[in-house]
Amino acid sequence: MRVKCKEGYEWFAYCAKLPDEDTWQLRKLVDTHSCNREYKVKFMRSSWLGKRLYSTVKENPNIKITDISNKVHQKWNAGVSKMKAFRACRVAIDMVDGSFREQYLRLYDYCHELLRSNPNSTVKLEVQATNSEVSDYVDRPLLPSFQRLYMCLNGCKESFLICRPIIGLDGCFLKGYYGGMILAAVGRDPNDQMLPIALAVVEGETRDSWTWFLKLLIDDLGRQQACKSYTFISDQQK
């Protein structure tokens, strides 16, 4: 492999692969660099840059084009046009959106696997209808989209029966591409450690979603008659 600078400059490097080894050896090097750094690199294509922006766009899907340009300048000391930064952002968004779509398509498989490997557990998956796509020729219905998922493993359910009759309730935001909320019910075991009882992924922290989650939780813990002896504490109670 030979690497050389632009025409008219002396910098040159020659590497060769050693036989029977995954090792490259630098055979010759002329380390005299007199040219200026190239700010616009033609090899930095939007497809290449989009793959490097995958994690950034996954954490912040609303990233600005100027922030992408600044990131490229700081990390690779190169410049990109606004159009190339926009195309790279679209490539990264398509990669993130595509991976999430594939995961959502496997939710039913995930629920069935939980029930198979954890008998007597409770897994509830709810979907919501999606508006049909109307074109000039046909009205094509779209697949339903994810709404809520509730999960209470049988091991956690049985372990709570020997714990203190106190249940802590709380919710937290999901910072992924599609957002949402996690609602959780947590107890304390005899070793004074946190014991997760049940959790749910919902579209938002609303009265309807909390009611849906608590009804399923009460049914899992022995219905209303058994839950009369439990104390529920939310994060709003000091």
Domain of residue 11: give its range: 1-36
Task: Say whether pLDDT at 63 is over 60.
Answer: yes
- Assess whether 119 and 56 both reside in one domain: no
CB atoms closer than 10 angstroms to residue 55: 10
Q: What crossing angle do the helices spanning 65-76 and 82-105 adopt, rounded to 10°?
A: 100
Task: Say whether pLDDT at 220 is over 80.
Answer: yes
In DSSP terms, which residues pair with 126 in a beta bridge?
148
- Assess whether 111 and 94 both reside in one domain: no
Distance CA 128, CA 202 (A): 12
Tokens 């009265």 -> residue: 207
- Assess whether 83 and 120 both reside in one domain: no
Task: Say whether pLDDT at 123 is over 90.
Answer: yes
- Assess whether 124 and 171 both reside in one domain: yes
Distance CA 152, CA 220 (A): 8
Task: Say whether pLDDT at 132 is over 90.
Answer: no
**Domains held by the chain: number:** 3
- Assess whether 229 and 162 both reside in one domain: yes
What average pLDDT does the chain have?
85
DSSP SS3 for 107 = helix
What pLDDT does residue 140 have? 57
- Assess whether 54 and 31 both reside in one domain: no
Percentage of the chain exceeding pLDDT 90: 29
